[in-house]
Structure 1
Amino acid sequence: MAAGVKLPYLCISCLTPCKALFKKTEGDFIKLLECSSCGQTVDRYVECEKSIIFMDMMLQEIAAYRHILYNANNFTPQFYMKLAVSLVLSEGYVRWTNFAQGLSAGNGIRNNETYLYIMCILTAIEIGVFGTIITIYSWVKFPNRTSPPTYNALLLGQCGRLANIAAIIWYHGSSIIFQGLMLAFIFISSIQSTRAALHIGRTECATLITVAFIISMYSSNALQPLLIGNRKTRGALQELFL
């Protein structure tokens, strides 16, 4: 192999670069290749359906995250864009629902809907700040490494937020226990997905995620009263969306 040539795949067990995941045999059958470094199958998820991959991802199997981030050609940029929009809308809707319960009837439906857009904006800011902190850390720690799929990993780690919609449908009200468990799940998922993207240890990654969580949540909470209490902002959003 020529010096400086980047191999397109990674072994999901030992992270050794590989030039192929499988080879075709007679009759169009495929044979999964073994890693030259660890001797394990380079990527056992090649033959699995997406449902099985997502199930292992929900069970926090780091190999599943590595497969999606580095070896899966069917997870396109459009998939991550749709996931980002879904996360912002779902989390924004949940926050708006919880916030709207405290609004008086005199606020009117137009103002009420405006708060939905504000909550979606705050959610996007929170996720953006979270990803920016992780990206800056990776640039500082690994200045010579090819840019890792940080934001893709971030979105995968935040997938648990989509369960909030189901919780609202089946349980009309706010549950501190559910919210706490969901936040813990998102925290663990973010650790696993970030580890898969940056190739760092558990302790280091947990510290990074903790700092990113605190800063991103603080920035969102600090901006919320400014946006909600600003009549000009609400008026601009009403003209833009309503």
Structure 2
Amino acid sequence: MADTTRGYWCISCVTPSKALYKRTDGSFIKLLECSTCGQIVDRYVECEKSIIFMDMMLQEITAYRHILYNAENFTPQFYMKLAVSLVLSEGYVRWSNFAQNLSAGNGIKNNEVYLYIMCILTTIEIGIFGIIIVLYSWIKLSYRTWSHIYNSVLLGQCGRLANIAAIIWYQGSSIIFQGLMLAFIFISSIQSTRVALHIGRTESVLLVTAAFITSLCSSFVLHPLLINRYEEYIL
């Protein structure tokens, strides 16, 4: 039987469950039904990660619930790697766009220090977004399971990884693509926040909107400050 020392949740009605499945003869398992709604507690137990991620991309809230609460193969190391991947991919794209918008005589601005600056800006932006979610959960909801909030913030930002594909298939900056990516991140963050904080759609939309605007504005303000400070240092 699944590990009963930890808590599980029904992905349909969010009812606590002691286990997700039980083992029968041999290596076969039987998925358990929720005592409240009668549905399978977690149908994703037998699914590959690719299917789970596909449903998550389609904004199935049950997929988010599985990943955040029931998945045993999404370890803390996975979220650490995801965080590093998000920062590096977004930082690289911003660095690339920054360099392309400069004249040929400003080659010095293509050095790797600007990549580090863009990665720092990305880290600050995502960090401020997460801090606002954490503060709201702590003040309004008295919810202190930080790991779930941290994981949900990263899952909501997964759309930034599409930047890598954009670089491969399209050499340039596309306002339309950037707009679609931000919209996808916004919707994903709403879903992941709903799951992490157990709040309704309207409350999640308002919270994510406030966090989104604050984080984007902070990045917009800090961008010229960091660039100018570095350029004053090297001149």
Q: Sort the TM-score into its range (normalised by shorter chain).
A: over 0.9
Contact preservation (8 Å) 1:7, 1:17: no
Q: For the residues of structure 1 that align with 2:197 and 2:212, how far apart are their CA atoms?
A: 17
Q: In structure 2, the residue corresponding to 1:214 is in which secondary structure?
A: helix
Q: For the residues of structure 1 that align with 2:125 and 2:177, how far apart are their CA atoms?
A: 21
Give the alignment's TM-score, normalised by structure 1: 0.90
- Matches for 1:65-144 after TM superposition, within 5 Å: 65-109=64-108, 112-143=111-142
Residue 109 of structure 1: how far off its partner (Å): 4.6
Residue 6 of structure 1: how far off its partner (Å): 8.5
1:185 equivalenced with 2:184 (yes/no): yes
- Structure 2 gaps of 5+ residues are none
Cα RMSD for the two superposed structures: 1.9
Match of 2:40 in 1: 41
Match of 2:151 in 1: 152
Match of 2:24 in 1: 25
Residue 232 of structure 1: how far off its partner (Å): 7.1
Amino acid in the other structure paired with 1:9: Y
Change (3 A) 1:148 1:200: farther
- Number of aligned residue pairs: give it: 231
Q: For the residues of structure 2 that align with 1:214 and 1:54, how far apart are their CA atoms?
A: 27
List per-residue Cα deviations over 1:30-67 (Å, max 9, x = no partner).
00001111111100000000010000000000000000
Contact preservation (8 Å) 1:11, 1:43: yes
Contact preservation (8 Å) 1:131, 1:154: yes
Q: For the residues of structure 1 that align with 2:147 and 2:230, how far apart are their CA atoms?
A: 41
| 114-123 vs 224-233, greater mean Cα deviation | 224-233
Amino acid in the other structure paired with 1:193: S
Q: In structure 2, the residue corresponding to 1:149 is in which secondary structure?
A: helix
List per-residue Cα deviations over 1:124-176 (Å, max 9, x = no partner).
00000000000110111221664460110111111111111111111111111
Residue 107 of structure 1: how far off its partner (Å): 3.2
Contact preservation (8 Å) 2:137, 2:143: no
Q: For the residues of structure 2 that align with 1:48 and 1:108, how far apart are their CA atoms?
A: 49
